């Protein structure tokens, strides 16, 4: 696949630190590459040491092992991090839903645990290092969040599970996290989405074997480097669209970074409050972060 966009212009990030979860492939790897190229001291995480080390060597970063579906893995990374300042925290790690409903090691729906709950817990654990650096959190949403069921009463989808809803709801959770963090924790946060990025996230099999090439041919998809640009813009930009604060491709699924429309469920303050409370409960952290 060939990138269509010019590289996103970045300021000199020398002396600044960045932690990118899920930084071993796809848009996470490309975001880490861009931040490192601008001079940031970057840490990339993956579920395995080998993948983390390979990615770190590729982009000039430091590797860390992290499985965001596991509280103990999140806590271990936070302990290793210590009190070092965090300038940029890109909460990118994620999975596509499995074929059947699966619980994480901590008993939560696996897609939600991996894509959202672990990130809430990690952001809470690194709240002081973020505040010390006047740092910023970037969460990764998706256009799929527009179709998420907004009911927060069954966050783990125990009553009725479907792959599409599991993914859409996990991405709504990511957007809500970024919108609530400034209010609940006093930490700057920006949600971003990559549009349609045809990356290894979707895997080599199934419908994506023909959908991905077709999407690129029709110019409704873009590669990982272009898909990472909204994340990079969210991490460093100094001005954001007042109406949403959400960053995505200007043409919806493709294009350079610009203002994006919030997912419909995230526009309701009551929905955001209910989801924040439920997410914090499942992640094992308080709603108000002192």
Q: How far apart are CA 58 and CA 61, in angstroms?
A: 8
- What is the enclosing helix (H) or strand (E) of 53? helix 49-59
Determine which one of 167, 246, 275, 276 is catalytic. Answer: 167
Q: Which strands form 88-91's sheet, in the order they lie side by side?
A: 62-65, 41-46, 17-20, 88-91, 136-140, 188-192, 247-249, 257-259
User: 124 φ, ψ to 5°?
Assistant: -65, -45
Dihedral over alpha carbons 266, 87, 126, 281 (to 10 degrees): 0
Q: How far apart are CA 84 and CA 17, in angstroms?
A: 9
In 3-state terms, what secondary structure has residue 89?
Answer: strand
Q: How far apart are CA 251 and CA 147, in angstroms?
A: 19
Q: How far apart are CA 14 and CA 2, in angstroms?
A: 29
Q: How far apart are CA 252 and CA 220, in angstroms?
A: 9
Q: How far apart are CA 173 and CA 116, in angstroms?
A: 6
246 is catalytic: no
Helix, strand, coil proportions of the chain in percent (round to 5)? 45, 15, 40
- Using DSSP bridges, classify how beta strands 247-249 and 88-91 pair: parallel, antiparallel or unpaired: unpaired
In contact, 284 and 113? CB cutoff 8 Å: no
Residues recognised as catalytic: 167
């Amino acid at each position: 696949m060939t990138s269509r966009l010019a590289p996103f212009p970045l300021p000199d990030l020398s002396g600044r630190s960045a932690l990118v979860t899920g930084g071993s492939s796809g848009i996470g790897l490309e975001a880490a590459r861009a931040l490192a190229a601008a001079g940031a001291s970057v840490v990339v995480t993956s579920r395995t040491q080998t993948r983390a080390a390979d990615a770190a060597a590729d982009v000039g970063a430091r590797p860390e092992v992290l499985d965001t579906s596991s509280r103990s893995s999140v806590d271990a990374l936070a302990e290793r991090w210590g009190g070092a300042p965090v300038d940029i925290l890109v909460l990118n790690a994620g999975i596509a839903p499995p074929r059947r409903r699966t619980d994480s090691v901590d008993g939560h729906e696996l897609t939600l645990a991996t894509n959202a709950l672990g990130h809430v817990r990690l952001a809470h654990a690194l709240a002081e290092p973020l505040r010390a650096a006047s740092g910023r959190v970037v969460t990764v949403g998706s256009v799929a969040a527009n179709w998420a069921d907004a009911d927060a009463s069954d966050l783990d989808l125990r009553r009725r599970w479907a792959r599409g809803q599991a993914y859409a709801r996990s991405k709504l959770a990511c957007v809500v996290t970024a919108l609530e963090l400034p209010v609940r924790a006093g930490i700057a946060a920006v949600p971003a989405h990559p549009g349609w990025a045809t990356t290894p996230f979707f895997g080599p099999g199934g419908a994506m074997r023909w959908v991905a090439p077709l999407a690129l041919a029709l110019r409704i998809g873009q590669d990982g480097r272009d898909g990472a640009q909204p994340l990079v813009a969210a991490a460093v930009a100094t001005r954001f669209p007042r109406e949403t604060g959400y960053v995505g491709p200007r043409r919806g699924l493709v294009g350079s970074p610009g203002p994006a429309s919030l997912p419909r469920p995230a526009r309701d303050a009551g929905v955001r409050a209910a989801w924040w409370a439920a997410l914090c409960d499942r992640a094992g952290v308080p709603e108000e972060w002192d």
